[in-house]
Amino acid sequence: MTSDAARRDIRARRLAAQRLTGPSASGPEQVVGELLAVQSQDAPLARLGIALRAGCHTDAVVAAIDAGRLVRTHVLRPTWHYVLATDLPWLLELTSPRVVSGMASRHRQLGLDDPALVARALDALAARLADGPLTRQQLQARLVERGTLAVDPLLGQRMGHLLLLAELDGLIASGPLAGREHTYRLWDAPAPGRDREDAIAELTRRFFAHHGPASIADLMRWVRLNKREISTAIELLGNRLAHTDADGVRLYFDPDAPPPDPRPRAHLLSTFDEAFLTYRDVPWPRSGGHPSGDAPYRWAESGGGPILLDLADAGSWRRTERPGRLTVRLDLAALSASGRREVALAARRVADALSAPGTQIDLEESPR
């Protein structure tokens, strides 16, 4: 049976590996490069998670996106991620075939199981983007105008999956932001130039180096690879990975990883943050008096994410933005005065990373 002290050490090392404690990254590109892919269906909060790890404002993350150094696209599994543009070619080659095959049933339901039909639609997408980046709604309107897509109850879903297929095929990628919306642009994907065994080893190394200590099961949830492929990669990596055991489960990590740092004690994490949702083994325990009790989070209603304090789940937060004003509302477990002060400091870091100069910042705590 793994001791509580050993569990705390594992959690502390995870925060350090993900740059939530210890030295910040040099910029958004280093954060995304180390994590390899940052889950981003909630794009603004994903950008916040990157900014917090780099000690910068979210504007710096937007600048990296607008410059094309970071790309938001479907890769690893059927959801959006931010990835480095330089990593995207080999990640697509490695993971796209299984992502596409895994959606075959859904594509039959949407009428996208005809290769000729999909090819015509993708050609139409490319033609529409030849003059520059467009938003999803702009693309959809133009495909409807040309008769490529019919207006029916499935139009929006069909459009989303066509864009997903175009991304997985390396035809398009995200472009500069248009206000709060991502755009799409044509992407001339360079040849990956990496064999599959080497690509799996590189993915495995970077995952465990910057998410570890983590298990093979954690990695299999993160990417569409099987246990045999991952186990082979671990053997190839040899002493580039170290391991420890927790309750009979082997957890892998970088042997040269920096030691865990106790500061800061509190973290307001973005929804779907890599530090919170990655781990099946040795998960984050809940603090006493947690406002959600034993009930799971309902992230679609959160607008924020979990709060970690002293290596435990201490509640959740929600942000509300209005012109010139940002409110961060905290829903906390039963914490000491010291704990509440640490959470307030973390909330201030979030507000500073999100808000423009001159913004009024309000921190509120839900009544108990």
| Distances 145 to 114, 128, 149, 183, 323 between C-alpha atoms, Å | 21, 11, 8, 19, 35
Strands 312-322 and 134-135, sheet pairing: unpaired
Residues 336, 289 contacting (CB under 8 angstroms): no
Average pLDDT over residues 5-13: 96
Residue 124 has a pLDDT of 92
**Distance between CA 8 and CA 282 in Å, rounded?**
9
pLDDT of residue 12 exceeding 80: yes
Span 26-59, pLDDT tens digits: 999 999 999 999 999 899 999 999 999 999 999 9
Q: Which residues contact 365 (CB under 8 A, 6 or more apart)?
A: 329, 330, 331, 332, 340
pLDDT class of 300 with cuts at 50, 70, 90:
low
The percent of residues above 70 in pLDDT, for the chain, comes to 98
Q: What's the confidence (pLDDT) of residue 302?
A: 58
User: What pLDDT, in 10s, does the model give residues 119-142?
Assistant: 999 999 999 999 999 999 999 998
- pLDDT of residue 297 exceeding 90, the answer is no
Whether residue 363 contacts residue 328, with contact meaning beta carbons closer than 8 Å, is answered with yes
**What's the predicted TM-score (pTM) here?**
0.95
Per-residue pLDDT at 237 exceeds 70:
yes
> Distance between CA atoms of 18 and 119, rounded to whole angstroms?
40
- Distances from the Cα of 282 to the Cαs of 50, 207, 271, 311, in angstroms? 24, 17, 20, 11
Output the pLDDT for position 191. Answer: 72
- Given a cut of 70, whether residue 368 has pLDDT beyond it is no
Could you tell me the two tokens for 210? 């910057």
Mean per-residue pLDDT, 286-314: 87
pLDDT given at position 119: 92
Lowest mean pLDDT among 84-93, 164-173, 299-308: 299-308
pLDDT band for 358, please (50, 70, 90 cuts).
confident
Q: Identify the three-state secondary structure at position 316.
A: strand
State yes or no: pLDDT of 218 exceeds 70: yes
